[in-house]
Chain A
Amino acid sequence: MEKEELKDEIVDLVIARLQTIPSNASLHVGNEERGFNVNELIEQVRNRTDIGEKFIDSQLSFLRSLKDLPIEEDVNFNY
């Protein structure tokens, strides 16, 4: 599969995941003065803006990490 096709599939996957998020949730990222709602995030991803690309990267980074994340026992921290 060509790299561009793979990227399109990844974008579609990220958008599909975004579409499951409640509409009243907002993501604050960077120095924007308000959060991005789900529809705005989808546009950022679809248009592959800087914010959109970083969002895609973070989704992929997390998915790749799943095989390495241990399930923590209760950590006794107190503050």
Chain B
Amino acid sequence: MLILITRPKYEIATVFCHSWTSLIIEDAKNRGIKIIDDLEKRKASRKNIESYLKKQDPSIVMFNGHGNSATIFGHDNEPLIEAFKNSALLKGKDIYVRACDSGKVLGPDAIKAGANSFIGYKELFRMWTQEDDFLRNPLKDPLAKPFFDSSNQVMFSLIKGKEAKDANEDSIKVYRKLISQLLTSQSENFFILSDLYWNMQNQICLENSNK
């Protein structure tokens, strides 16, 4: 199993994604799984991602960053993967995109182009943060934690060798557990519930029936 990850880091949302993805990288390393490259910050470029996808053979690719229905963006909003343009590079791979909207157009296009699976979001990905207090240490942000514990679970499960639909289901279970905890506790952070629920409802898993 080989893993490729993009982690741009150029504004607040990507700073948080960058930090929380470090837990996935650490988990992979602890399991002895090779990360082909951690394309972080400026390395999250189109040139690099295309080169690695063409020349290496990652079985799992995770994209962090911003997106729209047909595009995943890298550092400084450079388009990395675009539907109907270079999505064929995703052929044979399990893809997880932690970005907005790409589940709408890019996801189905990636499957049609031969990707094994595509887990992403069909609406805007949301997260609450206390960025003024935790921008330098996002892993300590209690508002952000539920959004990343639930979404990180996709990769934790893929890394364990699970099929995409099972990895997605594991993630959904984490969402439901966290939602249940917030509903039944006296937590002052209950206001994040509707947005956590939104992400859960809009997380989709597409699988290639021809794999």
**Contacts from A to B (Cβ < 8 Å):** 17, 20-22, 24-35, 54, 58-59, 61-63, 65-66, 69-72, 74-75, 77, 79
Contact = CB atoms under 8 A, between A and B. Distances in A.
Given A58-B194, A59-B194, A61-B197, A69 B124 contact: no
Contacts of B52: none
Contacts of A17: 191
By Cβ-Cβ distance, the 4 closest A-B pairs, closest first, are A79-B156, A62-B194, A33-B11, A72-B180
Nearest to A62: B194
Contact of A25 (B130, B152, B159, B198): B130
Interface residues of B, number: 46
A21 B129 CA distance: 12
A28 B126 contact: yes
Given A61-B197, A75-B174, 12 more contacts: A20-B191, A26-B131, A27-B126, A28-B128, A33-B11, A35-B12, A62-B193, A62-B197, A70-B180, A72-B180, A79-B156, A79-B160
B198 A79 contact: no
Contact of B128 (A20, A27, A62): A27
Interface string B132-168: 1100000000010000000011001101100000000
Contacts, number: 101
Nearest to A17: B191
Contacts of B198: 58, 61-62
A59 B198 CA distance: 9
A54 B27 CA distance: 35
A26 B128 contact: yes
Nearest to B181: A72
A63 B197 CA distance: 10
Interface of B: 11-13, 16, 27, 66-68, 73, 77, 100, 123-133, 143, 152-153, 156-157, 159-160, 170, 173-174, 176-177, 179-180, 183-184, 188, 191, 193-195, 197-198, 201
A22 B25 CA distance: 32
A26 B160 contact: no
22 contacts: A17-B191, A25-B191, A26-B129, A27-B126, A28-B12, A28-B16, A28-B129, A29-B195, A30-B100, A31-B73, A31-B77, A32-B13, A34-B13, A54-B123, A58-B197, A61-B197, A63-B194, A71-B180, A71-B183, A72-B176, A77-B153, A79-B153
A14 to B, nearest CB: 10
A38 B108 CA distance: 35
Given A54-B124, A77-B153, A65 B197 contact: yes
A28 B180 contact: no
